[in-house]
Amino acid sequence: MLKDTTRASEKAALIFGGSRGIGAAAALRLAKDGFAIAFTYVSRPDKAAELVAEIEADGGQALAIEADSGDPQAISHAVARAVERFGQIDAAVVNAGIIRMGKVDVFELENLDRMLAVNVRGVFLAIQAVTAQMRDAGRVITVGSNTAVRSSHPGTSVYAMTKAAVATMVKGIAIDLAPRRITVNNIQPGPTETDMTAPMIARLAEMSPLNRVGQPAEIAALVSYLASNEAGYMTGSSLTIDGGFVL
């Protein structure tokens, strides 16, 4: 296969978990910022195709890659595909994640292992793989959760643990990559209107000091800032954007 070099001299971003919700909003925002976009998806190839079409209709370039973030080989393959298409990566957004609910006395080992594989190991391996192909002074942005600092609902202990692990991981990796001036930061959204939260939007809005949930585009705006040149002095940080839930 011939390498497409049409955007090799321009900016490219790879989004892990980018076909829906916050990931899709980040893809659209970064495309408007001038990035060529590669993104992974696990299910709903129809949504992935729609996102590619929307970005291309607006004059951008996009590549959808089927890849499970719980599979190390799939992560490596996704990075290779993105580099083959667009050249070195300038920014990476690690958004892929899953949630399984259950109190400690009934939580199944299979669900524990799956959540650790995707939400913790998958994040580490994605950063490891993509930064090997990233330009110096690149940007890495993880999408965690405000549950890393506030977990008040029964059955969320494992999910909160994985997101707290990401926040801690980012601090260490930021130091590892500082000599290359690659920044690594973590966004911790609160309840945001996505497919996952749709059944409970009204209840979540009532719990918020602002009496509403977040919108994916609001999280994407923070992604845009962290991916910009202006954010070059921020690294190792976790930024909570949750309408005051953790206050």
- Active-site annotation holds for 159: yes
Q: What is the pLDDT along the chain (247 residues), one digit of tens a residue?
A: 334 444 444 899 999 999 999 999 999 999 999 999 999 999 899 999 999 999 999 999 999 999 999 999 999 999 999 999 999 999 999 999 998 999 999 999 999 999 999 999 999 999 999 999 999 999 999 999 999 998 767 899 999 999 999 999 999 999 999 999 999 999 999 999 987 777 778 888 888 899 999 999 999 999 999 999 999 999 999 999 999 987 6
For residue 223, the number of C-alpha atoms closer than 13 Å in the C-beta half-sphere is: 32
Q: Where are the domains of the chain?
A: 12-238
Helix (H, G, I), strand (E, B) or coil at 184: strand
Residue that is written with structure tokens 């977990």 in the block: 151
Residue that is written with structure tokens 């690659």 in the block: 182
pTM: 0.92
- So what's the architecture of 12-238 in CATH? 3-Layer(aba) Sandwich (3.40)
Q: In whole angstroms, give the CA distance from residue 101 to residue 86.
A: 38
Q: Given 41, 159, 225, 233, which residue is catalytic?
A: 159
Residue 132's Cβ-count burial label (10 Å; 0-12, 13-18, 19+) is exposed
